[in-house]
């Protein structure tokens, strides 16, 4: 009897384990957890995300709002009350929001954000990319919402009440509302924004109700204006009442525009038409399934599949559309640079310091048509503002370093995108590369010194000088690549190739690391490679010394050869997570996230070092890249509210996971190569926009079998540590043979190594 029991138990256990493997994904949207990364606060980021209810790259997102008005942490998982349901354009809590307003159902004449807040539970919350629902316990009300690109529908279920109300809150800093009872409609605008200086900025909204109001009110600040239908003030709002029966649903349609109230009406009628709530919901669900379904991941655990699609969801938001379609079916936009309504594309809400690394290369591979629109939008940025944005929110934001628009523009063209004004973009790159902008985050701070000395000096009052120098050198390489592709003059091509080698000027042979350098040519002293900030940006020398994306072989030579280089890479994981926070005067969240990750000095929660793992491929130790890529995926990502290891940052940290799970990564954007790691799933199929497929097979894959034994590309054995983008775009089948031990004879010859500028022929 005992023997039978044991056999049955083992059998059932094996079935249970097998059941956790997902062999086929039919509706990928069902695997997405929009709450992944929401268990965050300013002191410790597990993603710093909010549950964005939207469609891919939509102009407007919606989110439940737990934080106070104007607070960057609009929704945090550990909160207990909801204050409203907010239309948002926020790229990150650090950047905060613009064009925001909220809708909130209540019982009784409550409109103040603290008084109207209701208790809720995650047990009575449903969060999907295309749909959100929650029970507001204080009012016995259920709120459901579903989005389009510029509009949304609410379905609000009230109890029996003669004092059911809906609050419209356009926030402070200048707002306007008008209730039009004869049309069951509220119109208005908000002018609140967080970054830059915007001209003629208003986000106009129109809100239509299927049920007539029985009570009309507006409010200013904390004062209710009973019976008054119109209000303009620093902080104006509306409060409209209904008499409801038990479980009566009130349907609300809402749309907005940065152009005019008339355009907001047009957006509503065009995108919602005569659709009911369920029809809009189905359309949004189908759209997500289409976009997410471009990549089919099979043969992973349920948590791996959930993490993969939750990360893929995050890659499909930013930058989001700022353009609209007028009554003549023309693409137009409000310009954040001039305040005018102008023709053409415009996008906003991204920081290139983060996203040049993997997000934009991912779009170029999987969704090039949207990046074609984005490139056209960048040309308009330059035409209207005189510079390319390095951070847009929605105009120029004075934050972060580098001139990485060069990478974003160059990689798109190198990867085959066409049909936009690339000559204007090239002009913009040359302008930005040789001039300091009106703010330090536009153009290049220290441009004159960089051109004269080959680096930005540490001692001239420009912060984070070493980080700027290393990024400028890479950006010059990106310009060099684009100049060649566009057939520019030999003199210009030679200049940017030469400047791409400027990274060498900061290499300190005594430490084997990058180090700030003074104007007189001496190294900055004293030097602590564990000091965050100062000469570097949100990191230390151990993080930034690897920022030679375009010439790892040159860095290998500086570090004394491949053996020393591999040992130096190993040291990142072997060192304890010590730090010097004196530049900041305290522990910033990025430091804490590195410290608690138990991966030494490897700080995956921030961008500068995220490519480092793949550098093992340039020195003949690809199995170490395979090991650490898998370790990072396993340890640093989960499909849970605390599922990221730092800021998600507009799709970048998610794009790292998506690429790495497929088995390769774009170490050097503006080069037609992806550097190999090892796939996470048994099979991944990427359906390319040109109708071809990239099929990645790894049938022996498991947690133990993480090492590549052999790779066949279209049936031919390949020992190379990289893939060619052009070959992938023709359609390709990659067959990985996986094993539990490193295969140390594969990918060890120099002809197998990825591109480096030093070895360019």
Are the C-beta atoms of residues 165 and 76 closer than 8 Å to each other? Answer: no
From residue 634, alpha-carbon distances to 29, 85, 657, 750 in Å are 22, 34, 10, 30
What pLDDT does residue 14 have?
A: 40
For residues 112-124, average pLDDT: 98
pLDDT-derived band of residue 2, with 50, 70 and 90 as boundaries? very low
- 150-184 tens-digit pLDDT: 999 999 999 999 999 999 999 999 999 999 999 99
- 95-108 tens-digit pLDDT: 999 999 999 999 99
Alpha helices in 403-442 (DSSP H): 405-414, 422-433
Burial 673-695 (b: 16+ CB within 10 A, else e): bbbbbbbbbbbbbbebeeeeebe
What pLDDT does residue 20 have?
A: 85
At residue 19, does pLDDT exceed 90?
Answer: no
Query: Using CA atoms, how far apart are residues 674 and 725, in angstroms rounded to an integer?
Result: 7
At residue 755, does pLDDT exceed 60?
Answer: yes
- For 365, phi and psi rounded to 5 degrees? -85, -50
Query: Using CA atoms, how far apart are residues 211 and 160, in angstroms rounded to an integer?
Result: 15
Cβ neighbours, 10 Å, residue 496: 23
pLDDT-derived band of residue 8, with 50, 70 and 90 as boundaries? very low
Q: Which residue has the higher pLDDT, 151 or 2?
A: 151
- 281-307 tens-digit pLDDT: 999 999 999 999 999 999 999 999 999
Closest residue by Cα to residue 361 from 760, 756, 728: 728
At residue 5, does pLDDT exceed 60?
Answer: no
- 539-562 tens-digit pLDDT: 999 999 999 999 999 999 999 999
What pLDDT does residue 646 have?
A: 96
pLDDT-derived band of residue 317, with 50, 70 and 90 as boundaries? very high
At residue 430, does pLDDT exceed 70?
Answer: yes
What pLDDT does residue 6 have?
A: 40
For residues 523-528, average pLDDT: 97
What pLDDT does residue 480 have?
A: 98
At residue 271, does pLDDT exceed 50?
Answer: yes
pLDDT-derived band of residue 761, with 50, 70 and 90 as boundaries? confident
Query: Using CA atoms, how far apart are residues 163 and 41, in angstroms rounded to an integer?
Result: 36
For residues 645-652, average pLDDT: 96
Q: Which residue has the higher pLDDT, 157 or 761?
A: 157
What pLDDT does residue 16 have?
A: 40
When mean pLDDT is compared across 6-20, 451-465, 652-666, 726-740, the lowest value belongs to 6-20
At residue 355, does pLDDT exceed 70?
Answer: yes
């Amino acid at each position: 009897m005992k023997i039978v029991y044991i056999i049955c138990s083992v059998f059932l256990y094996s079935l249970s384990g097998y059941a956790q493997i997902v062999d086929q994904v039919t509706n990928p949207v069902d695997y997405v957890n929009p709450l992944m990364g929401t268990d965050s606060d300013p002191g410790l980021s597990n993603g710093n995300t909010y549950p964005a209810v939207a469609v891919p790259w939509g102009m407007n997102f919606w989110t439940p709002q737990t934080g106070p008005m104007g607070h960057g942490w609009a929704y945090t998982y550990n909160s207990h009350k909801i204050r409203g349901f907010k239309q948002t354009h926020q790229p990150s809590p650090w950047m905060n929001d613009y064009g925001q307003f909220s809708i909130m159902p209540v019982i009784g004449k409550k409109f103040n954000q603290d008084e109207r807040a209701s208790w809720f539970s995650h047990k009575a919350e449903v969060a999907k990319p295309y749909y959100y629902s929650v029970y507001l316990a204080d009012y016995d009300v259920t709120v459901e919402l579903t989005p389009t690109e510029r509009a949304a529908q609410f379905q609000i279920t009230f109890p029996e009440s003669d004092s059911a109300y809906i609050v419209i809150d356009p926030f402070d800093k200048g707002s306007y509302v008008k209730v039009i009872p004869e049309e069951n409609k509220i119109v208005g605008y908000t002018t609140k924004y967080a970054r830059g200086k915007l001209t003629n900025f208003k986000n106009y909204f129109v809100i239509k109700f299927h049920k007539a109001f029985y009570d009309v009110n507006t409010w200013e600040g904390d004062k209710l204006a009973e019976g008054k239908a119109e209000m303009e003030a620093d902080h104006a709002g509306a409060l409209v009442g209904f008499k409801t029966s038990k479980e009566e649903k009130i349907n609300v349609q809402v749309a907005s525009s940065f152009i005019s109230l008339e355009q907001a009406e047009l957006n509503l009628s065009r995108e919602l038409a005569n659709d009911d709530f369920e029809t809009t919901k189905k359309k949004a669900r189908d759209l997500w399934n289409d976009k997410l379904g471009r990549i089919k991941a099979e043969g992973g655990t349920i948590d791996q599949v959930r993490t993969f699609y939750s990360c893929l969801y995050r890659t499909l938001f930013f930058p989001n559309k700022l353009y609209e379609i007028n009554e003549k079916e023309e693409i137009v936009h409000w310009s954040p640079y001039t305040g005018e309504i102008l023709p053409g594309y415009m996008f906003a809400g991204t920081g290139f310091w983060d996203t040049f690394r993997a997000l934009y290369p991912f779009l170029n591979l999987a969704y090039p048509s949207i990046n074609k629109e984005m490139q056209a939008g960048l040309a308009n940025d330059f035409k209207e503002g005189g510079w390319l944005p390095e951070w847009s929110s929605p105009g120029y934001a004075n934050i972060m370093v580098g001139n990485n628009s060069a990478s974003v523009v160059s990689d798109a063209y190198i990867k085959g995108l066409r049909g936009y004004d690339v000559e204007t973009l090239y002009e913009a790159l040359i302008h930005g590369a040789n001039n300091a902008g009106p703010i330090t985050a536009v153009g290049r701070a220290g441009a004159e010194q960089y051109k004269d000395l080959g680096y930005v000096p540490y001692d001239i009052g420009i912060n984070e000088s070493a980080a700027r120098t290393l990024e400028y050198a890479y950006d010059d390489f990106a310009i060099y690549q684009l100049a060649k592709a566009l057939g520019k003059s030999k003199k210009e091509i030679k200049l940017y190739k030469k400047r791409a080698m400027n990274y060498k000027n900061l290499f300190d042979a005594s430490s084997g690391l990058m180090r700030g350098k003074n104007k007189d040519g001496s190294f900055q002293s004293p030097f602590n490679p564990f000091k965050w900030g100062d000469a570097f940006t949100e990191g230390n020398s151990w993080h930034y010394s690897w920022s030679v994306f375009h010439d790892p072989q040159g860095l290998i030579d500086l570090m004394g050869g491949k053996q020393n280089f591999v040992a130096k890479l190993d040291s990142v994981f072997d060192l304890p997570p010590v730090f010097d926070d004196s530049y900041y005067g305290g522990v910033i969240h990025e430091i804490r996230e590195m410290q608690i990750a138990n991966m030494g000095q490897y700080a995956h929660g921030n961008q500068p070092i995220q490519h480092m793992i793949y550098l093992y491929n340039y020195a003949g130790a690809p199995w170490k890249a395979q090991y650490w890529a898998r370790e990072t995926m396993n340890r640093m990502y989960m499909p849970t509210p605390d599922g990221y290891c730092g800021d998600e940052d507009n799709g970048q940290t998610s794009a790292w996971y998506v690429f790495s799970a497929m088995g390769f990564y774009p170490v050097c954007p503006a080069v037609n190569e992806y550097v190999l790691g090892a796939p996470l799933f048994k099979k991944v199929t990427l359906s390319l926009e040109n109708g071809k497929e990239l099929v990645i097979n790894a049938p022996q894959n498991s947690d133990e079998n993480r090492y590549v034994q052999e790779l066949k590309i279209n049936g031919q054995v390949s020992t190379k540590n990289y893939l060619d983008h052009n070959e992938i775009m023709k359609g390709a089948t990659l067959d990985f043979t996986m094993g539990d031990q490193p295969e140390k004879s594969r990918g060890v010859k120099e002809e197998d190594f990825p591109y480096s500028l030093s070895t360019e022929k």
